[in-house]
């Protein structure tokens, strides 16, 4: 079995994160948890690259559509369509515009439970309802109400893989294997070693 510390997740800093000068702040939050950065690059994605990214999981269209219908109902509103695929087609068009609007930073973070923990630190899809302390909750006021009104994607600064399976498809979509670096950081001994040894000098 692969040790949990080998788990990797993809993070994209979307164009608004770069424009808001938040890259250092965001990286700091993942880094201080003890995660290790194993890949990093700045890219201007093509439309095909963004569409490819969001449709890697054949269920993404249905799940995102269903999630959106649910969020309308929770707000006491009637969804624009009952068909999840129809709803997602519009979201995808707007997402392509959003992610190609400026440079993006792609990163791969490695560490125990990295997929789940990066999502926890990042917060939920809608910044307005993301808890205080999460990146989306702390740094951006966007909401479904505003994005619907302006017919655009929710501006939430970050993409983070939703599941380990998603991460395993998304990482090779953005990085060649040789762009990911295997290396050690010393604090991994404190995080993961079975015994805490070698702290006292005598």
Residues within the interface to ligand ADP (CB under 6 A): 64, 67-68, 91, 95, 125, 144, 147, 153-154, 156, 159, 162
CB of 59 or CB of 78, closer to Mg ion: 59
Q: How far is the CB of 115 from ligand ADP (least distance, A)?
A: 11
**Chosen from Mg ion, ligand ADP, none, partner binding at 114 (C-beta under 5 to 8 Å by type):** none
- Contacts to Mg ion from residues 146-175, by CB under 5 A: 162
Smallest distance from Mg ion to CB 138, Å: 20
DSSP, collapsed to helix, strand or coil, labels residue 107 as: strand
Q: What is the CA angle 39-44-45, rounded to 5?
A: 85
Q: Exposed e or buried b for every residue in 40-65, given b needs 16+ CB within 10 A?
A: beeeebeeebbeebbeebeebbeebb
Partner from ligand ADP, Mg ion, none binding residue 68, C-beta < 5-8 Å depending on class? ligand ADP
Computed over its alpha carbons, how large is the radius of gyration of the chain? Answer: 18
Q: How far is the CB of 159 from ligand ADP (least distance, A)?
A: 5
The active-site residue, picked from 159, 173, 176, 187, is 159
173: annotated active-site residue: no
Ramachandran quadrant class, 59 (left: phi over 0; alpha: psi -120 to 50; beta: rest): alpha
Q: Does 79 bind Mg ion (CB under 5 A)?
A: no
Contact between residue 85 and residue 62 where contact means Cβ atoms under 8 Å apart? yes
Residues 6+ apart with CB under 8 A from 37: 27, 30, 31, 107, 108, 109, 110
158-160: strand order across its sheet = 36-43, 104-110, 8-13, 158-160
Q: Name the residue with the smallest CB distance to ligand ADP.
A: 125
Name the residue nearer to ligand ADP (CB basis): 5 or 20.
Answer: 20
Give min distance, CB of 47 to ligand ADP, in A. 15
Query: Which of ligand ADP, Mg ion, none sits in contact with 147, Cβ below 5 to 8 A by type?
Result: ligand ADP
- The catalytic residues are 159
């Amino acid at each position: 079995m692969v040790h949990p510390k080998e788990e990797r997740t993809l993070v994209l800093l979307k164009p608004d994160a770069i424009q808001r000068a938040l890259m250092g702040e965001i990286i700091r939050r993942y880094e201080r948890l003890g995660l290790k950065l194993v890949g990093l690059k700045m890219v201007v994605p093509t439309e095909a690259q963004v569409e490819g990214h969001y449709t890697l999981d054949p269920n993404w269209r249905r799940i995102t559509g269903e999630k959106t219908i649910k969020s309308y109902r929770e707000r006491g509103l009637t969804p624009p369509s009952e068909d999840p695929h129809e709803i997602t087609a519009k979201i995808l068009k707007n997402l392509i515009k959003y992610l190609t609007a400026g440079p993006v930073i792609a990163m791969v973070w490695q560490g125990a439970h990295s997929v789940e923990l990066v999502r926890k630190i990042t917060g939920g899809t809608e910044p307005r309802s993301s808890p205080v302390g999460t990146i989306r909750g702390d740094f951006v006021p966007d909401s479904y109400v505003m994005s619907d009104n302006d017919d655009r994607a929710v501006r939430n600064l970050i993409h983070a893989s939703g599941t380990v399976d998603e991460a395993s498809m998304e990482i090779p979509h953005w990085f060649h294997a040789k762009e990911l670096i295997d290396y050690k950081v010393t604090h991994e001994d404190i995080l993961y070693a079975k015994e805490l040894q070698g702290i006292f000098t005598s």
